[in-house]
Amino acid sequence: MRQTKKSGDRFAKEPKQTRSRESLERLLTSAAKLLTEKKYSDFTLQEVSKVSNVSIGSIYNRFKGKDDLVRQIQQREVERMDIDSAVMINNLRRQQLPLRQLMPAVVHGFAEFLRKYRGILRALMEIAIVDEVVADTGRKHSVQNIGDYEKLLLECRDEITQPNPERAVNFVFRLVYASLSRYLGLGTVDESLEEGDWETLLDDLSDVSLHYLLGNPDQIRE
Amino acid sequence: MRQTKKSGDRFAKEPKQTRSRESLERLLTSAAKLLTEKKYSDFTLQEVSKVSNVSIGSIYNRFKGKDDLVRQIQQREVERMDIDSAVMINNLRRQQLPLRQLMPAVVHGFAEFLRKYRGILRALMEIAIVDEVVADTGRKHSVQNIGDYEKLLLECRDEITQPNPERAVNFVFRLVYASLSRYLGLGTVDESLEEGDWETLLDDLSDVSLHYLLGNPDQIRE
Amino acid sequence: MRQTKKSGDRFAKEPKQTRSRESLERLLTSAAKLLTEKKYSDFTLQEVSKVSNVSIGSIYNRFKGKDDLVRQIQQREVERMDIDSAVMINNLRRQQLPLRQLMPAVVHGFAEFLRKYRGILRALMEIAIVDEVVADTGRKHSVQNIGDYEKLLLECRDEITQPNPERAVNFVFRLVYASLSRYLGLGTVDESLEEGDWETLLDDLSDVSLHYLLGNPDQIRE
Amino acid sequence: MRQTKKSGDRFAKEPKQTRSRESLERLLTSAAKLLTEKKYSDFTLQEVSKVSNVSIGSIYNRFKGKDDLVRQIQQREVERMDIDSAVMINNLRRQQLPLRQLMPAVVHGFAEFLRKYRGILRALMEIAIVDEVVADTGRKHSVQNIGDYEKLLLECRDEITQPNPERAVNFVFRLVYASLSRYLGLGTVDESLEEGDWETLLDDLSDVSLHYLLGNPDQIRE
DNA sequence: GATGAATGAGGCTTCATTCAT
DNA sequence: AATGAATGAAGCCTCATTCAT
């Protein structure tokens, strides 16, 4: 079977690259999966090797060590999140909603976002305790992400009754973030985890946010 | 292959001899201290032994193993917190404050409480990820503690405009808890940690809570 | 990225119990033996553990690591050598020999000394390349040892015809040292090793030394 | 396996051979350089491949393994040294110097020679410990090289007062060799390395040699 | 041939737990 | 009871060598 080399050229170097690519993909995927399933101190390269069917040596051919692997995983995941987040924010912005509708939409959107990535986020937060690089990357990503949401909410600044809308929006968003994180067990499992209903929580968060942003300050003075 | 550890509520033997008591005391104190200072994976019995001047053998005479030691430490700390908490709540109750003054007082009181125990709480939360017994104990303690605060707030139920005061108070308190935990880095370090001012946060939390509890539901409807 | 290792003067714990003492003894002896029999890069703790019947863990209970073990071995051997050397030098000094008899005696004595310790010396010299602490200790010991021999020879300074007896003695002793080291393969095996006769070498070294120390400088000028 | 071996059309391979030659050259040169810069246990094919820009696979196509590569390097270097040495010896021979001038000239020449090749010599001596083939080659080369110097010196045999000029010259040359090697750190670093002055050492070595070769044997008898 | 990804044995080290004294 | 030496499984990482492309 003689083949003309014309069409074949495209694939000339493909096979090698493909095999490599595949095993790298397997490696990163398995590693990310293990990371989300375990405590970091139980996350071992031996198991990554076993589960991904990539030898220890190969892991070390591609990454400088355990730290490096974890950081690359973080990069990959953060990039995914950024895209996801950007798409969602853009969709919300297009709708030009009033705050009363935007706030619940933002809460739901952000909540879904966190829920989708809770596994890897929890893992990365744990690692951030001991790996300053992971901490930095996470911090930068988070600040940017939160900033985007705040900018979106501030497009309704005229509706906000609080004297300092920026501050108010920032505070409210942190409130939401903290509550959701806690519910999802980001930043560690803790005692009150998962009690209550997710949808109810989201509604309550929207409510409380609107009460604060749209409220009459006199109400809470004597 | 590590699973969350189950089973096992036992008590350390309570030696009546003074020397024994002292060394047990030294042991628990040093261990608790180390626990708050380190990641759990860096918390080793070897170091506990060295720092507390209690031999490894003695540790194993008193405790079944590392897990058991940690659980006993948790017991001890939780009891302390319970007392602390009870005293504070009682003091607040006595004053019979209206909600507008009670809420800030509760927020400040609870905040100080969390701040005081943040070290050990962070450690225990980390351990709770892998030790089901620690998780359970923490959960129970937390539920009870939170319940006490809620009961206190509900003594002002007549002032609350939300249709379901119990639910509203419960939600608000969780909001406060989540925000404070996040600020204090309980449940792991994360990206937005420690930015902003503590006192401002407390005031904002009081404000937002009052806006919610005392607000007019119509405000947030169209 | 390997650097010469610095720092570190610590001591192995000195167990008082017999069993402990014995196993430490077994450990050090086996380790020293293996060290003399192998290239340093083939000297592994696993084998030390196997040969000495002391578990890896025990090795790490007594020594901070491989480097520390090696340094402790050096200490032990150097102390032995110092004693050996001091005794021999003292014996020679007592006899108050004239240079013509002292020189051969010194050469023979020093030669025997080196021969006795050639194994461990060769090993330590190899290690000195990568471990600055071992290098320092070796250097200090060597300088002191050589100094003692030179002082002994200088007690015959009146017989020496060279204008600067100190310099001459120092040079001659280095000559002897270099030749013996080479013969014994200290400072690595090399190509001409072991050819020729040991006794003849010693006699020749004595001769050449005496020719130099007692010679007439005019002989070598035109 | 369908190779028809004809003698024709071999020119087609010329360019490839050139390229091959070049990469072999690069390989050997880089490898020799790395060898002189590192401990043998830090000399890895991985790094040779990287530095020389020759793939691991190619290295294994050309050499049977690490040992073989090292042996080929030795061959190449030894040939270079032989030429260098031969040229120098021939130059000295032409001048027909008397021993009093020849000896210093030989010492200086040989010293420069060792100094020039100290890097690779040190590396090869280290390898010789574990590779008998390298040891053999080194030994043969060394014996031949030393022999040449001795023959040169023996052209002045009439001036030598020692009863057995061959033996005396042989001994003296080994003395010189040993001292220079030690000074240059060939055959490993050791404790007294590099102290003192190079030029002074060379002069002293010439002096001591002449004292021995031209001395009066009676001087050292009673 | 050339390439370099893949392999895995083997080295160092840590630490929970056991056990002789 | 107290002590702490002893144990060894398990983790990280390196590098000579193999093998598919």
Question: A150-154 contacts: CB < 8 A, separation 24 or more?
Answer: A152/A89, A152/A92, A152/A93, A152/A102, A152/A106, A153/A99, A153/A102, A153/A103, A153/A106
Do the Cβ atoms of A101 and A203 come closer than 8 Å? Answer: no
Range with top average pLDDT, A105-109, C122-126, C197-201:
A105-109
Q: Is residue A68 included in any domain, yes or no?
A: no
- Sorting pLDDT into bands at 50, 70 and 90, what band is B12? low
Chain A nearest-CA distance from B62, in A, is 27
What are the tokens at A172?
């409210």
pLDDT at B188: 54
Distance C126 CA to E2 C1' (A): 38
pLDDT at D1: 41
pLDDT at D192: 46
- Does the pLDDT at position A7 exceed 50? no
pLDDT in tens, A29-38: 999 999 999 9
Do the Cβ atoms of A96 and A156 come closer than 8 Å? Answer: no
Q: Is residue A2 included in any domain, yes or no?
A: no
Is D119 found in the same domain as D171? yes
Is A97 found in the same domain as A152? yes
Q: Is residue C2 included in any domain, yes or no?
A: no
Is D142 found in the same domain as D56? no
Percent residues over pLDDT 70 in chain A? 86
What are the tokens at B63?
């405790």
pLDDT in tens, B16-25: 567 788 889 9
Q: Is residue C130 included in any domain, yes or no?
A: yes
Q: Whose CA is nearest the C1' atom of nucleotide F15? A: D44
Is A104 found in the same domain as A54? no
Mean residue pLDDT of chain A comes to 87
Is the backbone of residue A164 left (phi > 0), alpha (psi -120 to 50) or beta?
Answer: beta
Rounded CA separation B142/A191 (Å): 6
Residue numbers of the domain that contains C131: 73-220
pLDDT in tens, D26-75: 999 999 999 999 999 999 999 999 999 999 999 999 999 999 999 999 99
pLDDT in tens, C175-197: 999 999 988 877 554 444 455 68
Give the total residue count for chain A: 222
Nearest partner of D48 among D30, D69, D21, D75, judged by Cα: D30
Q: Is residue A167 included in any domain, yes or no?
A: yes
Residues of chain A found within 8 Å of residue B181, distances taken between Cβ atoms: 178, 182, 187, 190
- Does the pLDDT at position C52 exceed 50? yes
pLDDT at D194: 56
Residues of chain D found within 8 Å of residue C141, distances taken between Cβ atoms: 191
pLDDT at C5: 59
Do the Cβ atoms of D205 and D107 come closer than 8 Å? Answer: yes
Is D125 found in the same domain as D52? no
Q: Whose CA is nearest the C1' atom of nucleotide F21? A: A16
What are the tokens at C142?
């060597």
Nearest partner of B73 among B30, B40, B17, B23, judged by Cα: B30
Is C80 found in the same domain as C54? no
HSE at residue D202, side-chain half, CA atoms within 13 A, is: 16
Q: Is residue D56 included in any domain, yes or no?
A: yes
Q: Which domain CATH number covers B32? A: 1.10.10
Is B26 found in the same domain as B107? no
pLDDT greater at residue C75 or residue C222: C75
pLDDT at D38: 92
Decide: CB of D54 under 7 A of nucleic strand E: yes
What are the tokens at C28?
């050090």
Percent residues over pLDDT 70 in chain D? 86
pLDDT at C17: 58
Q: Which domain CATH number covers C168? A: 1.10.357
Mean pLDDT across C99-119: 95
Is C120 found in the same domain as C42? no
pLDDT at D19: 73
Q: Is residue B137 included in any domain, yes or no?
A: yes
Q: Is the dihedral of CA A170, A176, A181, A187 positive or negative?
A: positive
Is D182 found in the same domain as D125? yes
Which chain A residues in 126-185 sit with Cβ < 7 A of strand E? none
Q: Whose CA is nearest the C1' atom of nucleotide E18? A: B57
pLDDT at A215: 80
Rounded CA separation B217/C8 (Å): 71
Distances (CA, A) of C161 to C158, C212, C215, D58, D108: 8, 8, 6, 64, 26
- Does the pLDDT at position A18 exceed 50? yes
Rounded CA separation D32/D80 (Å): 13
DSSP state of B11: -
Nearest partner of D49 among D27, D34, D25, D21, judged by Cα: D27
Residues of chain B found within 8 Å of residue A182, distances taken between Cβ atoms: 174, 177-178, 181-182, 187
Mean pLDDT across D11-33: 79
pLDDT at D7: 43
Decide: CB of D166 under 7 A of nucleic strand F: no
| From A100, A125, A215, residue closest to B215, measured CB to CB | A215
Is C112 found in the same domain as C166? yes
Mean pLDDT across A122-148: 92
Mean residue pLDDT of chain D comes to 87
Return the exposure string of D3-14: e unless at least 16 CB atoms fall within 10 Å of the residue's CB, then b. Answer: eeeeeeeeeeee
- Sorting pLDDT into bands at 50, 70 and 90, what band is A20? confident
φ, ψ (nearest 5 deg) of residue C131: -125, 105
Is D37 found in the same domain as D101? no
Distance C37 CA to F19 C1' (A): 37
Contact yes or no for C222 and D175 at CB 8 A: no
- Please report the DSSP string for B155-211 in residue order: TTGGG--SS-HHHHHHHHHHHHHHHHHHHHT-SS--TTTT-S-HHHHHHHHHHHHHH
Q: Is residue D3 included in any domain, yes or no?
A: no
Decide: CB of D50 under 7 A of nucleic strand F: no
* Domain tally, chain C: 2
Question: Which nt has its C1' nearest the CA of D66?
Answer: F16
Rounded CA separation B151/B157 (Å): 10
Is A105 found in the same domain as A162? yes
- Sorting pLDDT into bands at 50, 70 and 90, what band is A183? confident
pLDDT greater at residue A56 or residue D194: A56
Chains that touch D (3 or more CB pairs under 8 A): C
pLDDT at C106: 97
